[in-house]
Structure 1
Amino acid sequence: MNRDSETLPLEASRDEEFVEIYDNLLKHLFLSKQAGTQEEVTISPQKLQHATWLASIISLSKSEPLKNLANSFGALLHLYSPSNSAYQRACYIIQSRSGNLLSSRHIPNIFENGQYLNSFGALLDLELGATRGRLTHKLEGAGEFVFTDYQARLWSGIRSGSNVAISAPTSAGKSFIIRRYIVEKLRTKPETAIFVVPTKALINQVSMDFKSDLKDNAHVYTTYRPQEENDKSIIYVLTPERCNKLLQDKTTRPPSIIFIDEVHNLEAEGRGMVFENCLYGLVARFPNSQFIFAGPFIEDIVTPLKELSGLDLIDETTVATPVFQVRAAITFLPRTSKAEYRIFSQTGNIISGTTVLNKKLYSKAKGKKGEAISTFLQNLKQDESCIIFAPRKSTAESWALELPPSSKASIEQTEAIGELIDFLAEEIHPDYSLIRTLRNGVAFHHAGLPDIARIEIEELYSQEVITNLVCTSTLLQGVNLPADKLIVINPKNDTTPLTPFEFKNLIGRAGRISTNLYGEVYCLEVKDEEWGEEKLTNEEKTKIKPNTTSILQEHTDTLIRLATATRGEIVEDLEGSKLYTTICYLRHLFVSDQKHFDRLLDTSRINPQHRTLLEEQLSGIKDQLSIPLELLRQNPYVDPLLQNQLYLQIQADPYAWIPTSFPNSRRSTTPTEEIDFEDLSFYEQFDDIARRLDSIFHIEAEVNSKWGDYIGIRPLIYDAFQWMSGKPHRYFIDKYLVRLNANTDEPEKDDSSDGSPKTRSVDRAASHVTKNISSNITFKLVKYFSLWSDITKACLPESEHEQHAYALSLPSMIELGSYDPRVLELMSLGINRSIALKLRKDLPTNVENVEAWLQKYNTARLSPLLRRYLERSGLTKRHELQAY
């Protein structure tokens, strides 16, 4: 090893005095964040000077962990005495040498208006200027940006056109680089890009960012729509499920870029196979596109992706991060207002001590965690953003109600919160718990929120209008919510402990380079029940193993035994009950895509004898199918045997499966069993089709497979129809409250801290309704109506496809929540359903170009909240308020 280049920085990092000074600087920063009187940490200037010299040597290492160590030392030095100009300059030099000029924006009196304010000396001026020049990039339509070393390397790698696999911490800035690269490509010439996000919750956030960046240079679509023009770029922002329709269109212009985010979701139970099938389908359909994959903290990200996709990939893994973290475990002690702290230093040391709290917290932390968090927050300085992690939706809501009011909001910010409260009162209910928390300047965030409420909370939080936010595992799904502080008191997802990967991903949200040099992580625990040290020091690496591969390896015998069993036999089997979807998927692949099936079994490396037995069992499926393979491929997650059953029924008389009435047709008073199908109202035809689908696929049983209120197929169909008719969440909540009031003996299932039965009922109703809409109606029901639509269309003569196109678009109507074609078109542009329904009143029926109409639309017609949403999206121009 070359001593000068690598051995010397390593030795410098282990120098006793450097380690001592680093740990003391870290301890000083930690104590400075505590609100009460704490012990003083003083360090002599001579020792600081010596440690700074060693840090400058460490910063020259090629090792990213050592560069992180040096970079954090520079920040700690500056934060020890923020007004000290010598420390400011030393911090900047260390940041420059460690490749992290991105954070230099927080160092005052150094660089301003494109030039250095003072000279560092001739040689240093030359070095620092060259580094800044190398890391400064001019981006098309966005001006100049200073990259980190990693961002510059990633920018170069993806601009080469190579397929790239990225594993990087949340704060590494990979999302910014990928987004700017896609924007640059789409602005240069008409091209297509596909951006795959893991959840519907992320679609609006990502699509709005792209619309804001691209403006009129590209169409941004959030559902699949055929390409109607080739002279303008298009980017599809889709979930893996929504990609399926795009893959079926053989006329789609091949995308130049396909980006799949949060690729570790390949491991997710249930949805892992959806991710896997989407990835494989995109590679098979568009082999010449550039593929970019990204995920956090993944060891050897390339090998599993290469095995699954067959692509050659460049590995862009990093542990480099422009922000560092103060990670501490706070242990509450019984019968005292003191707490032990342990700070986990990058030097490898644990810095221990005792801090004084405002109140005793041991008992509260054991039994009333929301109160404990609220009281603990009062021990921290309150001028920064804070995220509190909650294990489930109900605890997020109840803890948010416990948090202390924010005293920071300005009049304008208070007005913004008031506008959100008005929207929620109309859309959800005046007694909704989120309204109660917002009045205190506090909010919660989980997957059960209506889209526009979630988006507005994210916006208010990013602007620091809301400073304290309680979040569930949505933080683990790629939602962009970084925080100055992160507090964890219960490291579980529902009742399941977070894995080391999930915990590392969670705390990676602490630290916002836009606002600070560092982030804080606090693990709150009680004496004799400590968990923080184990979680914070666990360096276990995660390797991606697709969920289907894991099941093949762990349940081989059961898969072989049940390979040709009926649905009833599988779900009633003790071992097979959780394997039904995997068995259906394997059946589908074996019958319709042998190449993918072989690749899947190759990567799972199961015993050759077991593989032969599985294939022999599955071969019996082929002989039972009449459905064309091309049709079968369109719905890979539904049992081929049941698909075949539906196909045979529809093929016998496809017109008995197609709605012929319009949605506004009146329900008949004559019993439906006495009327022919074609004479029924739209609702009755929809109901009839859904119940016939239920008789084959057992939709009602699938909807009620987990805990919650039982939902029969008829109420589900009725709610789906009302959802399509444009009813808001408030309609369904009021209906549920009527049912609750009629069943006063039914016990409450809510753990809200508000003792009012009325408010508990509203929260329970809101939770039930959002789950029913997001999971049962817009996902499970859509899955089977998509299958119905595909099969029915295939059984019709091509000459009749256009005639029945509206009726066969029922899956889109159910998913998006409208049967009005104008609303559906607005929503396909990424506009929220609530806004699209309001815009429908002003949108003329004869408008050919909806995007052009939106650019001219006077947003002053809308409420301030909806107006801001539309203007942020870039779909409309800002208009001055006018009287109407």
Structure 2
Amino acid sequence: MSLIEELSEKSINDEYFRELFSKAELLSAYNYFHIKANNLKEKELLDLLRFADILSRSRNADAQNKAYKIISLLVGNYKDDSVFRAFANSVLTKLGNFPALKFLEVDGYSDENPSLELVFEKYTKEIFQKIPGSSLVFTDSQYKIFESLKNSNHYSFSGPTSLGKSFILNSFIRHLIEVQKVNENIVILVPTRALINQTLLQLKKEFSNIKEYRILSHPTVPESFRFEGTRYIFIFTPERLVAYLADTSNPKVGYLFVDEAQKVVAEKDSRSPLYYHAILQAERKSIKLYFASPNIPNPDVFLSLFDKSTEESINIKSSPVAQNRYFLDLLEQHCRLLSDLGDEKDIPVNFSNRNFSDWLKLLSDNQSSLIYCNTKTDTIQYALSVSASLPYKNDERIDEVVSVIKEHLHEKYYLVDCLRKGVAFHFGNLPQRIREKVEILFAEKAIDYVFCTSTLLEGVNLPAKNIFILSNAIGLSKFTDVDFWNLAGRAGRLTKELSGNIICTRIEYKNNRWKNPEKDLTVVKNKSISPISPSIINGKKKFFENVEAALTESDFTRKHTTDDERKVWSHYANIALIHEIRQEDSTLRSNFISKKGGSEKVLRDMSLQNEVPEKILSSYSIIKAKYQNKIIRYNRLEELTLSSDVSYKSVLQALETLCDFYSWDKEEVGGRNPMYRSRESLKYYAVLMSNWMDSTPLSRMISTAIDYYTKNGHIWDVDQLIDFNPKDKYQINLVINEIISNIDNILRFKLKNYFGNYYELLAEKLGEASAGKNWAEYLEYGTTDYRIIELQNIGIPRHLASYLLKNYHQYFKFYQGVLVEVEKGNLFKVMDQSAVEFKELLEVI
């Protein structure tokens, strides 16, 4: 151990250091809660800064984090102090935290007389760690990862949420294109559609000068983009990646970047098998794999899943943003600081007559705040409750978004009431158009508070100074350490401030609302995260026994299982069968055979019974092989093809056919919000599907649904059927949220998969010319109009494509159903440049 490492270790364990660090934490906490406090004595300040200087020279992540934390704790009280400024600049330079240095410089608090040694160190790092194509400089950790990526054909890295993983990946992609000139196509894999467009718009802005690459998000490459020499950056979800790879006419991909890689092995996420399946399909095509994940201590696990060398990985523990943790109990009326030293300290706050809205306003103190509420219902209700106590905001940006919501959804949608008070709610099923505008309002500080669900865990970029966490669960499951720190990591914005605040807040006695603080706060107090150990590798909790049970349709090892567990086991069972049919070695198939006796025979027997082409099974791995075989063996399929008629009657007939073929009464009845409740529910989906596939605007679909429920007389509210009142604002919002959720989850995911599989089976048996129409395409794009589909493929969203073709169709040239030209110059000249649609078009085209 070097002398500096010995010194830093002694410093961290020194009682005097711990005393000073504790005082600094309390001083910062008192300031945050608006409690008067005495500053540190001059000697104490100097001694603590000297400790920070020693720790900043260490290579130990804990020492580096403590050094940075000291600077962040003191900056509020001592930013005008010349001694503090000198030490702060020295510490941040040694840590290589250039965003934090920039923050001090912008605020005018840089060191006026730095030492020659410090100037040289900073100058050297600014040269070597300069980001390609930018004036910005990597932090030390970012630079270390970037250099490793440059020298590897596959790699996996993890780090704090504030590390800037997407930022690093984007910089590496720019390096590949501009420096290495790889001339290959690239895929960025994201967890959900909610993240696709955010990533798409960000890349279009960042790579606007790179003309040889097109950025796309659909698995169909438009003919108008297939010029010689054109390359592509695709942003896909796992299902879109599978669809892209299944089409052999698509351009070859050279690189795959997996963002939020922890989703690949998330045991309680029913989509994790699809992630594994999609990435494995890519790996089999010799695509270079790169994984980025938050906080995972063993990021090499993702490489081992795909039989890659596990040496090409790194876990970064040092954070470029510090965080302060508090537990605010409004019921028992006490507040605790959860110290970075591992202990807790009471904060003597005044609770008199203060409700949550008061605390939110006081602690936000004109800074941005996120409020995590877990469920969609809680998210909306809490947002409404807080907004009711706030004054109206006079802001043209808010007024514009309110007008869009009224036109795009409904004038009585709750988000309208909230936005007018500077509040928003945010969840994954919120329509893309609205969600993006909320995110922009928040980024521009037009609104102050955003109440949200776990969509943030999918990687949606909404950092804030403060995050209030009102629930200690995701759905019905308690936070895992990875989930909590991924969520809490949103507190503190790199380049905007040195630290963020995490306030775990108890405001009611309910399960999953910090009901048992001593137990529930364990994940908050413990900053260490356990290594990931995927079931697909170790077979824990009788994983492979349950995969075999899913294959053979026998009883699972436990009587009471969740819907997500059954879906995960069944999906992995399907994938294992696909690998058997291909005679393909994989981590899943190999471990299944080696760890579960008799499984090899089960796979072999089921493979011999199968009549469905492997390509179709692979494209629809989520659907059991037995149902696909049932359809392909059916003797009168030619009578059950689908036409372009998407009237209510035709859609209902098609739904009834597929319901019987795929046994929805058995397969789609689980979970809190099942797709299938009874045969009657098919009538509701027939209305919804018919309107959606017929290009009906969302606002009109909502009006149609309200009429449907008015005639029907009832509506489901959570788990009970209630009388429907079309004048009740709560019930109108119930309809709106149900529709936008069903379009996203049911129509564009579940039903799209079923109809896509059905069409592929028809085409296989009857021939493509006799297979009829592929309604999966209609469901994905929300139209039967090929022109609207073509415009969506080049990046124009559904609502905007409809608007443009209705008002400016002459500027779009089609030939035999293919878009061949967009007269952008003439189009921009005639459009109203103050219109919302014009601004939206500029972002995407």
TM-score, structure 2 normalization: 0.89
Is residue 197–residue 261 contact of structure 1 (8 Å, CA) maintained in 2?
A: yes
Corresponding residue for 2:809? 843
Alpha-carbon distance between aligned partners in 2 of 1:117 and 1:818, rounded to the nearest angstrom:
60
Residue 356 (structure 1) aligned with residue 350 (structure 2): yes
Alignment of 1:616-631 (within 5 A): 616-631=601-616
Out of 74-83 and 546-555, give the one that drifted further: 546-555
Amino acid paired to 1:828: N
Q: Any idea what the Cα deviations from partners look like across 1:239-284, whole Å, max 9, x if unmatched?
A: 0011111111224333232101111112243211101101111101
Corresponding residue for 1:417? 398
Residue 329 (structure 1) aligned with residue 327 (structure 2): yes
Taking a change above 3 Å as real, the CA distance of residues 748 and 573 of structure 1, as seen in their structure-2 partners, is closer
TM-score, structure 1 normalization: 0.85
How far the C-alpha of 1:77 sits from its partner, in A, is 2.9
Corresponding residue for 2:444? 463
Alpha-carbon distance between aligned partners in 1 of 2:764 and 2:144, rounded to the nearest angstrom:
49
Amino acid paired to 1:185: L
Corresponding residue for 2:247? 249
Alpha-carbon distance between aligned partners in 2 of 1:392 and 1:600, rounded to the nearest angstrom:
33
How far the C-alpha of 1:452 sits from its partner, in A, is 0.8
Corresponding residue for 1:377? 360
Alpha-carbon distance between aligned partners in 2 of 1:148 and 1:735, rounded to the nearest angstrom:
54
How far the C-alpha of 1:185 sits from its partner, in A, is 2.9
How far the C-alpha of 1:322 sits from its partner, in A, is 1.1
Amino acid paired to 2:198: Q
Residue 865 (structure 1) aligned with residue 836 (structure 2): yes
Match of 1:343 among 310, 323, 337: 337
Is residue 422–residue 448 contact of structure 2 (8 Å, CA) maintained in 1?
A: yes
How far the C-alpha of 1:502 sits from its partner, in A, is 1.4
Is residue 548–residue 573 contact of structure 2 (8 Å, CA) maintained in 1?
A: no
Structure 1 residue runs of 5 or longer lacking an equivalent are 361-371, 668-682, 876-884
Match of 1:307 among 302, 305, 308: 305
Taking a change above 3 Å as real, the CA distance of residues 41 and 870 of structure 1, as seen in their structure-2 partners, is farther
Q: Any idea what the Cα deviations from partners look like across 1:519-545, whole Å, max 9, x if unmatched?
A: 001112379942464232124524334
Structure 2 residue runs of 5 or longer lacking an equivalent are 510-514
Is residue 342–residue 525 contact of structure 2 (8 Å, CA) maintained in 1?
A: no
Secondary structure at the residue paired with 1:237? strand
Q: Any idea what the Cα deviations from partners look like across 1:741-761, whole Å, max 9, x if unmatched?
A: 45667685599xxx9971111
Secondary structure at the residue paired with 1:612? coil
Is residue 433–residue 763 contact of structure 1 (8 Å, CA) maintained in 2?
A: yes
Taking a change above 3 Å as real, the CA distance of residues 479 and 313 of structure 1, as seen in their structure-2 partners, is farther
Taking a change above 3 Å as real, the CA distance of residues 546 and 790 of structure 1, as seen in their structure-2 partners, is farther
Residue 399 (structure 1) aligned with residue 378 (structure 2): no
Q: Any idea what the Cα deviations from partners look like across 1:103-157, whole Å, max 9, x if unmatched?
A: 1112137999xxx8844233333233223333333x23xx311110011111111
Corresponding residue for 2:270? 270
Amino acid paired to 1:393: K
Corresponding residue for 1:133? 127
Is residue 28–residue 74 contact of structure 2 (8 Å, CA) maintained in 1?
A: no
How far the C-alpha of 1:636 sits from its partner, in A, is 1.7
Corresponding residue for 1:218? 213
Residue 78 (structure 1) aligned with residue 65 (structure 2): no
Amino acid paired to 1:790: E
Out of 392-401 and 522-531, give the one that drifted further: 522-531
Alignment of 1:60-209 (within 5 A): 60-108=57-105, 118-137=112-131, 139-140=132-133, 143-186=134-177, 188=181, 190-209=183-202
Is residue 728–residue 834 contact of structure 1 (8 Å, CA) maintained in 2?
A: yes
Alpha-carbon distance between aligned partners in 1 of 2:790 and 2:228, rounded to the nearest angstrom:
19
Amino acid paired to 1:103: A
Is residue 588–residue 636 contact of structure 1 (8 Å, CA) maintained in 2?
A: yes
Secondary structure at the residue paired with 1:512? coil
Alpha-carbon distance between aligned partners in 2 of 1:605 and 1:648, rounded to the nearest angstrom:
29
Corresponding residue for 1:29? 28
Secondary structure at the residue paired with 2:809? coil
Alpha-carbon distance between aligned partners in 1 of 2:108 and 2:82, rounded to the nearest angstrom:
13
CA RMSD of aligned residues (A): 3.3
How far the C-alpha of 1:508 sits from its partner, in A, is 0.8
Out of 513-522 and 531-540, give the one that drifted further: 531-540
Alpha-carbon distance between aligned partners in 1 of 2:532 and 2:584, rounded to the nearest angstrom:
18
Residue 646 (structure 1) aligned with residue 631 (structure 2): yes
Match of 1:738 among 685, 699, 707: 707
Corresponding residue for 1:637? 622
Out of 593-602 and 778-787, give the one that drifted further: 593-602
Residue 282 (structure 1) aligned with residue 282 (structure 2): yes
Is residue 341–residue 354 contact of structure 1 (8 Å, CA) maintained in 2?
A: yes
Alpha-carbon distance between aligned partners in 2 of 1:117 and 1:570, rounded to the nearest angstrom:
66
Corresponding residue for 1:758? 728
Match of 1:511 among 492, 497, 504: 492
Alpha-carbon distance between aligned partners in 2 of 1:419 and 1:644, rounded to the nearest angstrom:
52
Match of 2:38 among 38, 41, 44: 41
Is residue 163–residue 313 contact of structure 1 (8 Å, CA) maintained in 2?
A: no
Secondary structure at the residue paired with 2:813? coil
Amino acid paired to 1:843: H
Is residue 271–residue 568 contact of structure 2 (8 Å, CA) maintained in 1?
A: no
Taking a change above 3 Å as real, the CA distance of residues 513 and 628 of structure 1, as seen in their structure-2 partners, is closer
Is residue 342–residue 353 contact of structure 1 (8 Å, CA) maintained in 2?
A: yes
Amino acid paired to 2:805: R
Taking a change above 3 Å as real, the CA distance of residues 862 and 736 of structure 1, as seen in their structure-2 partners, is farther
Out of 182-191 and 424-433, give the one that drifted further: 182-191
Taking a change above 3 Å as real, the CA distance of residues 661 and 263 of structure 1, as seen in their structure-2 partners, is closer
Secondary structure at the residue paired with 1:108? helix
Alpha-carbon distance between aligned partners in 1 of 2:309 and 2:637, rounded to the nearest angstrom:
42
Q: Any idea what the Cα deviations from partners look like across 1:19-56, whole Å, max 9, x if unmatched?
A: 22222222222222224xx2312211122112212211
Out of 145-154 and 737-746, give the one that drifted further: 737-746
Is residue 191–residue 238 contact of structure 2 (8 Å, CA) maintained in 1?
A: yes
Residue 477 (structure 1) aligned with residue 466 (structure 2): no
Taking a change above 3 Å as real, the CA distance of residues 535 and 543 of structure 1, as seen in their structure-2 partners, is closer
Secondary structure at the residue paired with 1:8? helix
Secondary structure at the residue paired with 1:524? strand
Residue 541 (structure 1) aligned with residue 532 (structure 2): no
Alpha-carbon distance between aligned partners in 1 of 2:726 and 2:620, rounded to the nearest angstrom:
47
Is residue 790–residue 819 contact of structure 2 (8 Å, CA) maintained in 1?
A: no
Corresponding residue for 1:725? 694
How far the C-alpha of 1:59 sits from its partner, in A, is 0.3
Secondary structure at the residue paired with 1:90? helix
Alpha-carbon distance between aligned partners in 2 of 1:381 and 1:457, rounded to the nearest angstrom:
19
Alpha-carbon distance between aligned partners in 1 of 2:498 and 2:23, rounded to the nearest angstrom:
18
Out of 755-764 and 497-506, give the one that drifted further: 755-764
Corresponding residue for 1:530? 517
Alpha-carbon distance between aligned partners in 2 of 1:378 and 1:562, rounded to the nearest angstrom:
51
Match of 1:600 among 565, 588, 593: 588
Alpha-carbon distance between aligned partners in 2 of 1:724 and 1:297, rounded to the nearest angstrom:
42
Alignment of 1:779-858 (within 5 A): 779-796=749-766, 801=768, 808-841=773-806, 842-844=808-810, 846-847=813-814, 852-854=822-824, 857-858=827-828
Corresponding residue for 1:673? none
How far the C-alpha of 1:655 sits from its partner, in A, is 4.8
Is residue 109–residue 117 contact of structure 1 (8 Å, CA) maintained in 2?
A: no
Is residue 388–residue 487 contact of structure 1 (8 Å, CA) maintained in 2?
A: yes
Corresponding residue for 2:6? 7
Taking a change above 3 Å as real, the CA distance of residues 398 and 407 of structure 1, as seen in their structure-2 partners, is closer
Alpha-carbon distance between aligned partners in 2 of 1:741 and 1:434, rounded to the nearest angstrom:
23
Secondary structure at the residue paired with 1:351? strand
Match of 2:670 among 701, 705, 710: 705
How far the C-alpha of 1:700 sits from its partner, in A, is 5.7
Q: Any idea what the Cα deviations from partners look like across 1:694-746, whole Å, max 9, x if unmatched?
A: 21102465454334594622432332121011122323322332344456676
Match of 2:236 among 235, 238, 254: 238
Is residue 192–residue 237 contact of structure 2 (8 Å, CA) maintained in 1?
A: yes
How far the C-alpha of 1:571 sits from its partner, in A, is 14
Amino acid paired to 1:207: L
